[in-house]
Structure formats: structure tokens, C-alpha cells
Amino acid sequence: MATRQGEVVAIVFADHTDTILRVISPSWLVAGWQVACEIARDEGLDVSRFGWGWLHSGVAALPYRADSALDHFGFSSDEMLGWSDERLARCTARLAAQPGPCLRVGGSYRGEHHDVAPSDGAFGMRLVELSMTDACDEWLGPAFYETQSSDVPLPHIARALSLALAARDAAAVESALSLAERHYSREGFQIGLAALRRFVQPGTRGLDDPSLQTLVPARWR
């Protein structure tokens, strides 16, 4: 597998984190590619040159920001490098009008392109878990949810878990995890647990408080 680092332009996922975790699976990622593929063909792009792409979230230029932990991850192609702002905006508008996973166009002068076909949903899932676990301090951090969009599914489980951790409320943590187990997809719940386990580790990416580990029920540690 070849990986290229540097400037990347990609069609990225832009659903809210809680929406993503309720539905994510290899087939959901591939469904996103099918939407992106249709638009890419209409734009005259060679879809065989697309792979899985990642934008550095700290420096990414994204026309749409939600409380999304995946708004820097999606499908990249070197043919999109150098696109004009007008073309990027047109493609984003066309993606926004499509049913299915919420997709937008973003770019970054720092990123990675993996030369693996976007139809390989299992590979995409591995990248998603790595990305969301590594960024656990972002989407499990309470500042991430200071504003809450009205189109987020209720209950907003990821936000509830984040606020419960910040409040050091063990009962609320257990309640949020129970909701997540019930409402998230199997893969979404696994991602949530992997991110949570890293978040509560002292000195890693979370609130750096050893007591956080005691808030997580034993069966989910």
C-alpha cells in the first residue's frame, strides 16, 4: 500500500459525531463513496485515482463545520489538487444536495493519501477507528459541544458522555454508555469505547486526571 503525505484535497464526511456513531459500518462508508463517485465522474475525474484521504484537522480548509469527528476524513485524489474555489464550491453544493452520508469538499496542505480503493470499507473502518481514537481529546472534550445543532439526533449521546466525564459524574457516564450500546452501530460503539479508554488514561489525550478511569463501569474498561 502506497501512502503519500503532503497537500490533500478530499471529499470528506461531515455528519455530526453522534449521527456517525449511530450508523457507521464498512457498508456505510462505501455508501458514501458511491455518492462521491457519482459526483466525481460528473466532474470528469478518473475515479480509479481516488483513495482514502486524511486532512490535518488543525490546518484544514473546510467549508462546513459541524461537531464532526470525521470532517477531515474521506476520499482523496491528486486530480482535485489545484481546483479553483469556484469548482470546489460547486462540488460541495452538489454533494450537499445528495441523500445519504453528509459529504463536503475540504483541503489541507498537510495530510495523507492512502492508495487503497474507497470501495474497501474494512480498510476505511480501520482508519476511522485510528483517527477517532487519536482525536479522543477533541470529540470527548466538553468544549466540542458548546454549541449544539438542532439536527443532531436526540439523545445526543456523545455530548452527554463528554459532559458526564467533565462533571466526574459516574452515574451519568454509565447512563451515556448504556444509551450508546443501545443506539450506536456495533462498530460505532466499539469506536466509542476505544476512544473513551484512551481518553481516561492519565497523561494521554484526555483531561489528564487519574480519577477518570474510576468513572467507567468495569465491564467497559
Q: What pLDDT is stored for residue 52 in this prediction?
A: 96
Q: Are 101 and 13 in contact (CB under 8 A)?
A: yes
For residue 71, is pLDDT > 80? Answer: no
For residues 160 and 120, what is the distance between their CA atoms, to the nearest angstrom? 32
For residues 108 and 123, what is the distance between their CA atoms, to the nearest angstrom? 22
For residue 191, is pLDDT > 60? Answer: yes
Q: Which of 169, 196, 198 is nearest to 181 (CA)?
A: 196
Q: What pLDDT is stored for residue 14 in this prediction?
A: 86
- Average pLDDT rounded to a whole number, residues 140-166: 72
The rounded mean pLDDT for the chain is 85
Best mean pLDDT range from 97-106, 131-140, 145-154:
97-106
Angle of the 85-96 helix axis to the 26-42 helix axis, nearest 10:
130
pTM: 0.87
Question: What are the pLDDT digits (tens) for 111-122?
Answer: 889 999 999 999
Q: Strand, helix or coil at 27?
A: helix
Q: What pLDDT is stored for residue 146 in this prediction?
A: 61
Confidence band of 63 (pLDDT split at 50, 70, 90): low
For residue 180, is pLDDT > 90? Answer: yes
Chain centre to alpha carbon of residue 106: 13
- Average pLDDT rounded to a whole number, residues 52-58: 82
Give the three cell numbers for residue 191. 469506536
What DSSP state is assigned to residue 149? -
- Average pLDDT rounded to a whole number, residues 94-102: 88
Confidence band of 204 (pLDDT split at 50, 70, 90): low
For residues 10 and 13, what is the distance between their CA atoms, to the nearest angstrom? 10
Question: Residue 183: which H helix or E strand, with range?
Answer: helix 170-183
- Average pLDDT rounded to a whole number, residues 180-200: 93
- Average pLDDT rounded to a whole number, residues 144-170: 75
Q: What pLDDT is stored for residue 65 in this prediction?
A: 55
